[in-house]
Structure 1
Amino acid sequence: MTGHRTESAGSRRRLSARQWTGVVGLGLVLLAALAITLNPTPVDRGRGDDIRAFLSVLHGMGLPESFGYLQLEFTANIIMFVPLGLCFALLGRGRKWWAAALVFPFVLSSGIELAQLVFLPERFADVSDIIANTVGGWIGVGLAALLPRGRTTVDAQEPFRGP
């Protein structure tokens, strides 16, 4: 007796190249972001001289002196979440998926900040991190929306007529 399959080979959904990029990218970037944000030791510990030197270089390039450590940290949080939003948005299609992509950075960042608050006494949970991360994720989602979409399916019974 043969087993029954609940879905035929033709009805299986295959991932597009765009979705594969999203899966692999999200996995890699998510691992890096979690390693950075959930490390018990603050990222900047022992790096004060390096941070001051970096800020000095930025100021020498014309960035106002008012741009200090807090602004640098906020900007770094935005930058860290851009690829997360981009890769997550590449995973799916449709309006519901875009809505999920817009909520994803907020939910992930809130979870990270909650974990820092509850489990990592040397880390500082901060609402401004949630804001920066969410904005960064939204920028990534916006970039994904700007990327061209390839042809996802071709009807085998209808010949391709070109552009």
Structure 2
Amino acid sequence: MAAVTQFAQAGARREIAVAYGAAVVLVAWWPSRVDRPYGEGLHQALSVLHAAGIAGWLDYAATERLANVVLFLPVGWLVAAFLGTRRGWAETILAGTAAGVALSLVLEFVQSALLTDRVGSIADVLANACGAAVGAALVAVSDARARGRSAMPSGAAGARGGSSRRR
């Protein structure tokens, strides 16, 4: 059995999921932007990088989007680890992504409707969905490698008469 699937069966999974979920809700529903105390420092750090000719593409908005992607990696990872990949890699990634989108829509709706200093954003939902998809894909690839087969369908799998999908 793959290492990721073994983790999904371990007793610690609920505690990890609850702790992570609480952290996401705390960050998303904090009354003001959580980066407010660090905003000036982040701008200064980016200025230093840009002055050194490093990461000129990385501005404050890109940093915020990247943070959203990273924040939702565990959503996809946890959902995929809980469900396993026996139904196939595509279903695993789709389930992790769908969970990320659903959670993100709820969080962004509450930000828009109830938090006066926060603004819900479809761009955040898309970044969060990307993070969840990558997290779920990491599980699918890890599980496939542990089983000794390709994570993605290929012509070679069909030529051997095999399939990358388990029934």
TM over 0.5: yes
Residue 33 (structure 2) pairs with residue 42 (structure 1): yes
Give the one of 56, 68, 91 matched to 1:77: 68
8 Å Cα contact 1:85/1:101 also seen in 2: yes
In 2, the alpha carbon distance for the partners of 1:17 and 1:70 equals 35
Match runs of 1:13-162 below 5 Å: 16-20=6-10, 22-59=13-50, 60=52, 62-64=54-56, 66-93=57-84, 94-95=86-87, 98=92, 99-148=94-143
Q: How many Å apart are 1:126 and its aligned residue? A: 0.6
Match of 1:154 in 2: none
In 1, the alpha carbon distance for the partners of 2:135 and 2:103 equals 14
In 2, the alpha carbon distance for the partners of 1:86 and 1:22 equals 11
* Aligned-partner residue type, residue 54 of structure 2: G
Q: Give unmatched runs, 5+ long, in structure 1.
A: 1-14, 152-163
Q: Which structure is larger by alpha-carbon Rg, 1 or 2? A: 1
8 Å Cα contact 2:68/2:127 also seen in 1: yes
8 Å Cα contact 2:97/2:130 also seen in 1: no
* Aligned-partner residue type, residue 23 of structure 2: A
* Aligned-partner residue type, residue 18 of structure 1: A
Counterparts in 2 of 1:137 and 1:22: CA distance versus 1, 3 Å: farther
In 2, the alpha carbon distance for the partners of 1:16 and 1:109 equals 27
Let me know the Cα RMSD of the aligned residues: 2.5
Q: How many Å apart are 1:47 and its aligned residue? A: 2.7
User: Number of paired residues?
Assistant: 136
- TM-score w.r.t. the length of structure 1 is 0.72
Q: How many Å apart are 1:140 and its aligned residue? A: 0.2
- TM-score w.r.t. the length of structure 2 is 0.70
Q: Which has the higher helix share?
A: 2
* Aligned-partner residue type, residue 88 of structure 1: V
* Aligned-partner residue type, residue 39 of structure 1: W
